[in-house]
Amino acid sequence: MRDSERVGAIIVAAGTSTRFGRDKLSEPLLGKPVLFWTLEAFATSPLIDEVVLVTSRGGLAVCEDIVDTLAPKKPVRVVFGGARRQDSVCRGLDALSECRWVLVHDGARPLVSAALIEAGLAAVRRTGAAVPGVPLADTVKQVAPDDAVVATLERAALRAIQTPQVFAFELLRRAHREVGVDVTDDAAMVEAVGGHVVIFPGDPANVKITSAHDLYVCEALLRARLAQ
């Protein structure tokens, strides 16, 4: 890959796993930590030139063990995250070498596929910002603070957004410099600075682990993938 097309990846693994109740990224998934499978997908991808793994101080030892086990043939840097997710991504951006494109991925999505990474890098060339989305299967209702239904939303116009989210490096860096309010994903920051974010098809198997149930689902899906 030419230097002008260098691709970096930031894996965000600095959360507190509050909903899970313990460090979910260290939980065993077919005998290896959840985070092992996430990092492996990017460390072995021929489309990625460099990876930054953003962790908490408590997760440093696990991250270093995973990197040592994988022994990737590309640079993998481990850095400490910040108080908010967006602070952690910003520190990941600071740690990356200069690149044209950057993927930001949740460490708790261990089943990210090579096809999804490739699709994101193809889609980002349209506008400089692309995120994977999957159609909603359930009816979605907007509710008031007292749980009264306000509106039934048009499901066809809605998408559940996943990661990896893919951006032009300079666009994402600008968004992080200019947007100070709390956001739930990087795309919201890019939208706030006038960026045009497009959706590409997500993957229903790209599950984010937030509960023990999700871990069981990921184990079954990973077994099926490895058996193919």
pLDDT single digits (tens) 189-200? 999 999 999 999
Category of 31 on φ-ψ map: left (φ > 0), alpha (ψ -120 to 50) or beta = left
Q: Which of 29, 28, 27 is nearest to 223 (CA)?
A: 29
How does pLDDT run across 16-51, given as a tens digit for each residue?
Answer: 655 666 688 999 999 999 999 999 999 999 999 999
Residues with Cβ within 8 Å of residue 132, at least 6 apart in sequence: 116, 119, 120, 161, 162, 163, 164, 165, 199, 200, 201, 202, 203, 206
Which residue segments constitute the domains of the chain, with CATH numbers given?
3-131+161-227 (3.90.550.10)
Q: Distance of CA 31 to CAs 26, 37, 62, 96, 223, Å?
A: 11, 11, 14, 30, 12
Q: Which two tokens stand for residue 228?
A: 């193919």
Kindly report, residue by residue over 50-109, the tens digit of the pLDDT.
999 999 998 999 999 999 999 999 999 999 999 999 999 999 999 999 999 999 999 999
- pLDDT for 204 beyond 80: yes
Q: Chain centroid to CA 11: how far?
A: 6
Residue 173: CB atoms within 10 A of its CB come to 16
Taking only the tens place, the pLDDT of each residue in 135-172 is: 999 999 999 999 999 999 999 999 999 999 999 999 99
**Strand, helix or coil at 167?**
strand
